[in-house]
Structure 1
Amino acid sequence: MHEVKLENAPVMLCAGEALTDMIHRGNEEWVSRVGGSTWNVARALAALGERTAFAGAISNDRFGDALWAASEAGGLDLRMLQRVDRSPLLAIVESEPPSYFFVGDDSADLHFDPTALPAGWMDGLQWAHFGGISLARQPLAARLVDLARELKSRGVRISFDPNFRNLMDERYTPTLEAMATLADLVKVSDDDLRGLFPGLELDAALAKVRSFNPQALVLFTRGAQGASLLRGDERADARSPKIDVVDTVGAGDASAAGLLRSLHHHPERSLQSHLHAALAAGSAACLQSGATPPHAAAMQQLFEQLEGEVS
């Protein structure tokens, strides 16, 4: 049987949730913004020049239209983005203090169907990124874990960012362990560790994550305090470059994208240089308001700045 080849098949795939943030501005004033952790990583990868697809399902209404338009404008491969006649997934965001809850019982994201993706879509795939609340929402989570296992069996490298939210209770633990065990790269923040392992000190929580897959590369971010990159007995530490911060929203997603790009194009780099690439991308995203993807030129400039400081 003739095997179908997908023209310009994606090199990077991000699978999970694309949603609408409903942000409270006070006095019952709300504003909507396109978002979603894995979708933000996809947009950041595309902005940095990677041939990237987002795999997920969105609604057939104005919220879905906005996500589709932003995906198209961001240069994503739209062939993996499915549209279904279900309600949108909404993240209700209270800004002071920052908190989230989600509205989406039987919403569009839960109806993503990996078996309906176009033939040949895996042909050129090098990395697949998973995470966010998509892995805490059934039946979607089970489908995504199965997809990650299939891709791993085909030699695709797996990236995982839990991106903790309060719906990740004890029912999430098996998924956390399964994905961390599969992952070649785990990205986790200090806030993630506090949420995932309440009662554990940060060092103990980080060790817990690493114990699931001791050979995985782990990016541990600490906001303004910088980040660490760990693999086996190796460790690199660095502070973020000095910039005039406009907005930190989406910085973590951008840092994951920057690291994936560095790992894909520059496998010969040292752990320290890979970490610099992650911090440069995250910081470049902070130069703009909202979850806006970083500019490749800004990332490169900040990367060179960080490399120069240690040369």
Structure 2
Amino acid sequence: MIAVLGECVADAITDEQHAGDGGLALRVWAGGGPANTAVALSRLGTPARFLGRVSHDVFGTLFRDRLTASGVDLSACVTAEEPSTLAVAALDERGRADYTFYATGTADWQWTPQELDLARLGGSSCLHTGSIALVKGPGGEAVEEFARAAAARATVSIDPNVRPSLAAKDDYRVERWCSFADILRLSDDDLDFLLPGVPPEHACDTWHAAGARLVVVTRGAAGALVSVDGERATVAAPSVRVVDTVGAGDSFTAGLLHTLDAKGLLGGRLDGLDLETAVAAAEFAARVSALTCAVAGANPPWADQL
């Protein structure tokens, strides 16, 4: 089982076809990077446990229904009194989303150390976390300390999933996270924000030196760079007609972790991982991501679609 810790977000995407005179129509999807990853893992066939603070409001019901329908274990979730986080997105001509977040005082960021005891991991071989829950106060520090403690018993995977409108560059303490994380997956946009002007290969070496064994930088249609302890290769992205890219990176992470889990590599420090195996995992992850891009919203594929 893989545990995923982080936020649920209501993704409201502009719908020009149904907008009335002088109005704006929105279509709301259950989203949030970590929740998307948990859904994708479960749909691929890897048992997934979601650790989230899920509101009691109408969006919280939407989140629970989607996670449950995908087979995700919600027994480690907290039912929160605070409202859900809302993100309103406009899509550009390439299907990429530009988000405006409504996140002040919402449920996802209120974690306390008392809510994050290691018993919530159950028998998980891996903890995946990151995104806004790892950086936004007041709960970000509690999430980081939980992930650090989890490293004693599980592989740790992190996706920064940078959101400049919600957190500053200094809030993304990637080198510090790499001291306890085994896997770092980030996008080229994340890299440009975190280390502007730094070549991806040099960035990978920085994070390897800090402790991460596997670093993957996804580049959209250009594929991905895979680096294992400084040994590198590139992976092509499958050709697909893009509807939008919402959830594509989250699905890539799920495909990567699913494959590593199937090969029995999770549960420790990735001691048995070599570059060839990492590349095969990234190739599968790229297929999962491509199929997510081919449909509207963060709607990752099921195993039989692959």
- TM-score category by the smaller chain? 0.7 to 0.9
Q: 2:155 aligns with which of 150, 154, 157?
A: 157
Identity %: 31
Q: Quick check: 1:193–1:206 contact (8 Å CA) kept in 2? A: no
What is the RMSD computed on CA atoms of the aligned residues? 2.3
For 1:75-154, what aligned pairs fall within 5 Å after superposition? 75-96=71-92, 98-113=97-112, 115-116=114-115, 120-153=119-152
Q: Quick check: 1:248–1:286 contact (8 Å CA) kept in 2? A: yes
**Amino acid of the residue matched to residue 136 of structure 1?**
V
How many pairs align?
Answer: 286
Is 2:267 the counterpart of 1:270?
A: no
Distance in 1, Cα, partners of 2:191 & 2:230: 20
Residue of structure 2 equivalent to 1:286: 293
Q: Quick check: 2:3–2:49 contact (8 Å CA) kept in 1? A: yes
Is 2:294 the counterpart of 1:297?
A: no
Q: 2:11 aligns with which of 16, 21, 24?
A: 21
Post-superposition CA distance 1:244-291 (Å, at most 9, x none): 444332121111111101111114762331222221221232333211
**Amino acid of the residue matched to residue 178 of structure 2?**
A
Q: 1:234 aligns with which of 231, 247, 264?
A: 231
Residue of structure 2 equivalent to 1:195: 193
Q: Quick check: 1:22–1:33 contact (8 Å CA) kept in 2? A: yes
Distance in 2, Cα, partners of 1:243 & 1:32: 24
Post-superposition CA distance 1:121-158 (Å, at most 9, x none): 434110110111112211211111011011112x2000
Distance in 1, Cα, partners of 2:260 & 2:183: 10
**Amino acid of the residue matched to residue 220 of structure 1?**
V
Residue of structure 2 equivalent to 1:49: 45
Q: Are residues 122 and 30 of structure 1, via their aligned partners in 2, closer, same or farther at CA, if it must alter by over 3 Å?
A: closer
Distance in 1, Cα, partners of 2:176 & 2:86: 27
Q: Are residues 288 and 23 of structure 1, via their aligned partners in 2, closer, same or farther at CA, if it must alter by over 3 Å?
A: closer
Q: 1:182 aligns with which of 176, 180, 183?
A: 180
- In structure 2, runs of 5+ residues without a counterpart are 17-22, 266-271
Distance in 1, Cα, partners of 2:87 & 2:175: 25
- In structure 1, runs of 5+ residues without a counterpart are 1-10, 300-311
SS at match of 1:53: strand
Q: Quick check: 1:254–1:281 contact (8 Å CA) kept in 2? A: yes
Distance in 1, Cα, partners of 2:84 & 2:303: 31
Residue of structure 2 equivalent to 1:4: none
Distance in 1, Cα, partners of 2:103 & 2:246: 22
Q: Quick check: 1:15–1:38 contact (8 Å CA) kept in 2? A: yes
Q: Are residues 118 and 131 of structure 1, via their aligned partners in 2, closer, same or farther at CA, if it must alter by over 3 Å?
A: closer
Q: Quick check: 2:85–2:102 contact (8 Å CA) kept in 1? A: yes
Distance in 2, Cα, partners of 1:83 & 1:118: 16
Q: Quick check: 1:235–1:271 contact (8 Å CA) kept in 2? A: no
**Amino acid of the residue matched to residue 252 of structure 2?**
S
TM-score (norm 1): 0.84
Residue of structure 1 equivalent to 2:210: 212
Q: Quick check: 1:51–1:76 contact (8 Å CA) kept in 2? A: yes
Higher relative contact order (CA 8 A, sep 6+): 2
Q: Are residues 78 and 114 of structure 1, via their aligned partners in 2, closer, same or farther at CA, if it must alter by over 3 Å?
A: farther
Distance in 1, Cα, partners of 2:121 & 2:295: 33
Report runs of 4+ in structure 1 exceeding 6 Å deviation: none
65-74 or 264-273, which deviates more: 264-273
Post-superposition CA distance 1:162-216 (Å, at most 9, x none): 011113314414x323222221110011111012223444444444444422x51
